[in-house]
Structure 1
Amino acid sequence: MYASLEEAQNHVWHKTEGLNSTSLVVRRGQPFRLTLSFNGPYMSSKDDLMLRIELDHLYYDIPITSSKATSQSQWSAYFQHGILDPSAPHKASVCVYSPPTAIVGVYQLHLLFMSRYGSYSRRVGQLTLLCNPWCTADSVYLPEENQREEYVRNDFGLLYQGTARNISFRPWGFDQYESGILEICMMMLQVSNEHKKNWKSDYANRSDPVYISRVVSAMINHNDDCGVLQGNWSEDYRSGVNPSEWTGSGSILKQWAESGFSPVKYGQCWVFAAVMCTVMRVLGIPTRVVTNYNSAHDTNGNLVIEEYYTEKGEKLPHNRDSIWNFHVWVECWMKRGDLRAGFDGWQVVDPTPQERSGGVYRCGPAPVKAIRERQIDMAFDVPFIYAEVNADVCVYIVRQAQVLNYTTETDRVGVLICTKSLGSNQPQDITSTYKHKKALQPSVRSTSPMPGPPPANNHGSAKGLSVELSLIKAPVVGENISFSVTVTNHGSVVKTVREYVNAQAKSYDHSPSDTFWEADNIIQLAPNGSKVLQHQISYSQYSALGNEQLVNLAVVIMDMTTQERVLASEEFNITGPIVHIQVADEDSIIARRHQVAMVTFTNPFSVAVRGMLTVAGSGLLEDKVLINVALLQPRETMNTVVRFTPKMAGVKMLHARLSLDINRIVIRGFKTITVRPA
């Protein structure tokens, strides 16, 4: 007796094409088909057939019956009506059904055959069973097909960074169709602490995406286990890879598996989130990457973040609480049978190791609806995430540990929360799903001019004075940074005031470092009068920052008579140039046919540059293409031909990363490509 798993057809039916070419991958709650070939005619009245499905030491024996089972809550198998062809009595087609609550895992299939001549078993093959967002009875069911395509099957994305006033993008390959990635994701569940401690309990819980998301959240970081990534925010990456150099999940997951599950060095929040998105999409759980701008890390749980400035406008690193310019996590779609009604849907899961949850570095799943409604008594980690998007900010001006002035801001934290739009490369504003606030419209530097910016801490006022800090235009690498300071006297007498302006470099997750530019002026203000002061920071003064850093700009205005002080600040990123990608015959790209792309970059700097170009594209290129870029003179253009062969139909992304030899500058670009079936 012989059995065929009919992989190609089953993969089409179960929408698992490309996940594995050598073994069967199906989704629970949906039948798949086997074809049996017998050595002699099958006598259904005298011969008994059983399908044994093994998961380590667990197994299910499923009788293969002549009629379809009525129960949807257990495994079943039946001969498909009309398939037992009298002209081919040696063949039969069998439908196998797994319940929508089946355990996610890798099973071994055996046929048990009992006849009047004896009984024997034969191994049929391997079966990987995933969650099924196409099945209405599965707890990850997602109603809209375009959402399932985006949040389960799409293997590329854009990770949003920068600031809310000037969003920047990072192309990313989720790489779930790369060879070996499915096996690595399934192995991740097997090497988790939960499985090692109690494999029976782990399997018993592995039907629930709530449990799976907790396990994966812990396994993406290595803090408590043999997880995938080691975090590093020190800016010293000599023992590993700078987190900014990763372009996709595939190379990270493969390095982890090939090393025997040693941590990959290094990750930061967007890397942790993007790798988790890959794993969850592979497991069949709809997932998207989300960016929260001005994300609070409230270590003491008081929902207040304190910031301290000197009287000259220099920001001080005085407390454990912090505000990250952006923080990246994922949302996973699932029902919450463990909670009271009303909290199904998107759940925040954060694999970046910040705080422990249940004694382990993981976070979530926390219902987005619970965060919006401040249901802080709800599992898991709702209070921590609520603070990340809602904490107040107290800003103090201090001198020798004495508070000179303070203000409280209630609208800076969580000013914008966004994710990649469905079927589009634009960001989608989802702030209103987290907060009772009017949604803001984000912009991306490469696609559209910035509309009215969201609120910032760029104005301050006191009884007699107010100050406003304004960028004249979005800062661009290679150009001067131009801004204005508007000071207003609200009193009825002339005021003499001193202006201190201070610029500090900062990373997205740290307090600023030392001042790299400052200015001060003494001015007179007429009663009820205003003055506008213009400032410029030249490229030579900020060039050493690179384009991965941000700038904290602050102004303090002091009344020379009363010592009254007011502060305004602005944190901004500096927009870099873009690598452009064009594809020949863009409307006629066909799977398995050779294609050509042209990658171009024009040097906008006043000095010659050279560097390394990396081009990647899951499903388009087998391996990354590395090209040394020779010396480019100012305004000179580089044109590089990249040849690629799409493996499968669908929308794919070709993305480029150009690392220049000056000031750690990294330039990116991408092109989405629609591949038609062969």
Structure 2
Amino acid sequence: QVNANDDQGVLLGNWSGNYEDGKSPSSWTGSGEILQNWKKSGFRPVRYGQCWVFAAVLTTVLRCLGIPTRTITNFSSAHDADGNLRVDEFYDASGNHLDRTADSIWNFHVWNESWFSRSDLGPSYSGWQVLDATPQEESGGIYQCGPASRNAIKEGDIDLDYDCPFVFAEVNADCMYWNYDPTTGKKTLIFSKSTTIGQFISTKAIGRDERVDVTNDYKYEEGSTKERDIFKKARKKLGLEDKFDPTAPTPQEIDQKPDLSGKFKVAGPLEIGKDLNLILVLANLQSDAKTVHVNMTAWSTVYTRRPIHQIWKDSISITLSPKEEKKFPIKIPYIEYQQQLTTDHMIQVTALCHVEGGIQVLVQRDITLDNPAIDIQVLGEAKVNKEVDVEVVFTNPIDMEVMNCVLRVEGNDLLRGILEIDIPPLKASETSSTKFKLIPFETGSKHLLVNFSCDKFADIKTFKMVNV
């Protein structure tokens, strides 16, 4: 009922990067407005949501029903569309990410945990249950996921109800990276990795704004013998261990060792409005010289890592002496990426290294650019039913004017509804100072939420704790 795919539910998902006929998922600051809009429209789906929005609304709904619920964020989250506990990614010779499979690795994904007993499974599987309102894959003919026992996920008991294989893959799938030649149809394994998926699985601490890591509640230590045994157990439960898979890499391909290593290092601020400066570091691991042809690309992406626009590309050919390391500076000017950037502010940089007579090496980095800062000051003591002034300060950090500036403010027990303030255009480096009044109507620690948008920056969010 939270997603709209099957039953005219609350939210319609959109991952295209184009939200002109609705609201950008990143613009929402609370579930209340979404649920109110759904009711006011005659229960027509609200446009638009992405995973964290679906999870936030489901948290609100289930808590209202008295079911203990929290949101969970999984970084480097697998979307295993074919259910083989393996995610395949394909790249062409230039290093471009190819859309050849429904599998994907999201930079992050957000779902829910709810606490209840599982009388259908037994007491050892009660407690936190995974629920996911984001419409990713059909289950039982509709877009739903869970409840999946978190204990079952950790122990590899993925033959239990409901949707345990999909959730297990989200936190513990293996990754295969392939080079694909569209002319011949041939694919070559670049490398495989079993430790990429399921990083920094997080939830909010109770009563304070801090992250709590729950990774060890979903799986045993990554790369440990126990974790690998559980992975094999899960594959066996699905009948994958004894089944021939013609798409799988051979053991020889998996065991192959590269001739060189590579990485992208950050060489400057990662901020919107600033040039992006990186360093590609390549090191020869062998005792003989290697000639390497490097094809590099940079694409703007959404948080699901789906490429949207190519921003930059370049190629170099180099020779690395035995055990030699070389560094290559990369500069992507702001003017080249400003029009291509999505509201997720993400850029994927890739270098596909073709080693003469050796194995290809893929070097990749996902970069998230920071928004400019917003400063909030409460100018006085906040008291119930008494006015208090608040000042919000924003400085335009880029070398051009920003227009269509809007400040949206909300806060439970601080404001009734949402306050929207239009701000005049800001010239380069100009600072705006916006003041407004609050009249709190409940005591305690309250969140004041601020969202600033303009034609160059979308949905810059921050908050201030106000003690009333």
> Cα distance 1:468–1:238, how it changes in 2: closer, same or farther (>3 A)?
closer
Q: Contact (CA 8 Å) 1:547, 1:574: kept in 2 or not?
A: no
Q: Which residue of 2 aligns with 1:649?
A: 443
Q: Which residue of 1 aligns with 2:315?
A: 520
Q: Contact (CA 8 Å) 1:619, 1:652: kept in 2 or not?
A: yes
Q: Contact (CA 8 Å) 2:301, 2:342: kept in 1 or not?
A: no
The one of 360, 365, 370 equivalent to 2:152 is 370
Matched, 1:589 2:371: no
Q: Which string of whole-angstrom CA distances, capped at 9 and with x for unpartnered residues, describes residues 359-391 of structure 1?
A: 332222222222111111222221111111111
The letter for the 2-side match of 1:418 is S
Q: Which residue of 2 aligns with 1:11?
A: none
Matched, 1:317 2:99: yes
Q: Which residue of 2 aligns with 1:419?
A: 203
The letter for the 2-side match of 1:422 is I
Q: Contact (CA 8 Å) 1:317, 1:512: kept in 2 or not?
A: no
Matched, 1:666 2:448: no
> Cα distance 1:653–1:230, how it changes in 2: closer, same or farther (>3 A)?
same
The one of 481, 487, 503 equivalent to 2:276 is 481
> Using the alignment, how far apart are the partners of 1:512 and 1:324 within structure 2?
12
Cα displacement (A) at 1:499: 2.0
Unmatched segments (≥5 aa) in structure 2: 224-255
Matched, 1:600 2:393: yes
Q: Which residue of 1 aligns with 2:350?
A: 554
The letter for the 2-side match of 1:371 is I
Deviates most, 491-500 or 345-354: 491-500
Cα displacement (A) at 1:343: 2.4
> Using the alignment, how far apart are the partners of 1:238 and 1:514 within structure 2?
18
Q: Which residue of 1 aligns with 2:79?
A: 297
Q: Which residue of 2 aligns with 1:260?
A: 42
Q: Which residue of 1 aligns with 2:236?
A: none
Q: Which structure 2 residues correspond to residues 14-25 of structure 1 after superposition, within 5 A?
A: none
The one of 421, 426, 429 equivalent to 2:213 is 429
Q: Which string of whole-angstrom CA distances, capped at 9 and with x for unpartnered residues, describes residues 505-530 of structure 1?
A: 11112521342111222222112222
Q: TM-score, normalised by structure 2?
A: 0.87
Q: Contact (CA 8 Å) 1:404, 1:565: kept in 2 or not?
A: no
Q: Which residue of 2 aligns with 1:353?
A: 135
The one of 415, 421, 433 equivalent to 1:621 is 415
Q: Which residue of 1 aligns with 2:241?
A: none
Cα displacement (A) at 1:230: 1.6
> Using the alignment, how far apart are the partners of 1:629 and 1:525 within structure 2?
55
The one of 277, 286, 290 equivalent to 1:495 is 290
Aligned length: 432
Q: Which structure 2 residues correspond to residues 19-418 of structure 1 after superposition, within 5 A?
A: 219-400=1-182, 401-418=185-202
SS of the equivalent of 2:337 reads: helix
Q: Contact (CA 8 Å) 2:300, 2:342: kept in 1 or not?
A: no
Q: Contact (CA 8 Å) 2:205, 2:212: kept in 1 or not?
A: yes
Q: Which string of whole-angstrom CA distances, capped at 9 and with x for unpartnered residues, describes residues 331-377 of structure 1?
A: 11223333212223222111111223333322222222221111112
Q: Which residue of 2 aligns with 1:65?
A: none
What is the percent sequence identity of the aligned residues? 38
- CA RMSD after TM alignment: 2.0
Q: Contact (CA 8 Å) 1:334, 1:345: kept in 2 or not?
A: yes
SS of the equivalent of 1:524 reads: strand
> Using the alignment, how far apart are the partners of 2:354 and 2:276 within structure 1?
24
The letter for the 2-side match of 1:647 is F
Q: Contact (CA 8 Å) 1:548, 1:666: kept in 2 or not?
A: no
The letter for the 2-side match of 1:595 is V
Q: Contact (CA 8 Å) 2:414, 2:441: kept in 1 or not?
A: yes
> Using the alignment, how far apart are the partners of 1:354 and 1:242 within structure 2?
19
Q: Contact (CA 8 Å) 1:556, 1:567: kept in 2 or not?
A: yes
Q: Which string of whole-angstrom CA distances, capped at 9 and with x for unpartnered residues, describes residues 569-621 of structure 1?
A: 11121111122211123xx4333322221111111111121311111112211
The letter for the 2-side match of 1:590 is K
Q: Contact (CA 8 Å) 1:582, 1:598: kept in 2 or not?
A: yes
The letter for the 1-side match of 2:177 is V
SS of the equivalent of 2:19 reads: coil
SS of the equivalent of 1:279 reads: helix
SS of the equivalent of 1:274 reads: helix
Cα displacement (A) at 1:408: 0.7
> Using the alignment, how far apart are the partners of 1:332 and 1:348 within structure 2?
7
Matched, 1:467 2:262: yes
- The structure that has the greater radius of gyration is 1
Cα displacement (A) at 1:546: 4.8
Q: Contact (CA 8 Å) 1:292, 1:389: kept in 2 or not?
A: yes
Unmatched segments (≥5 aa) in structure 1: 1-218, 440-460
SS of the equivalent of 2:87 reads: strand
The letter for the 2-side match of 1:557 is C
> Using the alignment, how far apart are the partners of 2:48 and 2:258 within structure 1?
49
Q: Contact (CA 8 Å) 1:548, 1:665: kept in 2 or not?
A: no
Q: TM-score, normalised by structure 1?
A: 0.61
Q: Which string of whole-angstrom CA distances, capped at 9 and with x for unpartnered residues, describes residues 549-568 of structure 1?
A: 311111122234x2642111
The letter for the 2-side match of 1:284 is G
Q: Which residue of 2 aligns with 1:9?
A: none
> Using the alignment, how far apart are the partners of 2:64 and 2:132 within structure 1?
17
> Using the alignment, how far apart are the partners of 1:666 and 1:232 within structure 2?
17
> Using the alignment, how far apart are the partners of 1:651 and 1:348 within structure 2?
30
Q: Contact (CA 8 Å) 2:17, 2:342: kept in 1 or not?
A: no
> Cα distance 1:275–1:530, how it changes in 2: closer, same or farther (>3 A)?
same
> Cα distance 1:360–1:494, how it changes in 2: closer, same or farther (>3 A)?
closer
> Using the alignment, how far apart are the partners of 1:634 and 1:595 within structure 2?
31
> Using the alignment, how far apart are the partners of 2:198 and 2:269 within structure 1?
21
> Using the alignment, how far apart are the partners of 2:28 and 2:132 within structure 1?
19
SS of the equivalent of 2:145 reads: coil
Cα displacement (A) at 1:283: 1.6
Q: Which residue of 2 aligns with 1:15?
A: none
> Cα distance 1:343–1:405, how it changes in 2: closer, same or farther (>3 A)?
closer
Cα displacement (A) at 1:543: 1.4
Q: Contact (CA 8 Å) 1:652, 1:673: kept in 2 or not?
A: yes
SS of the equivalent of 2:295 reads: strand
The letter for the 1-side match of 2:386 is R
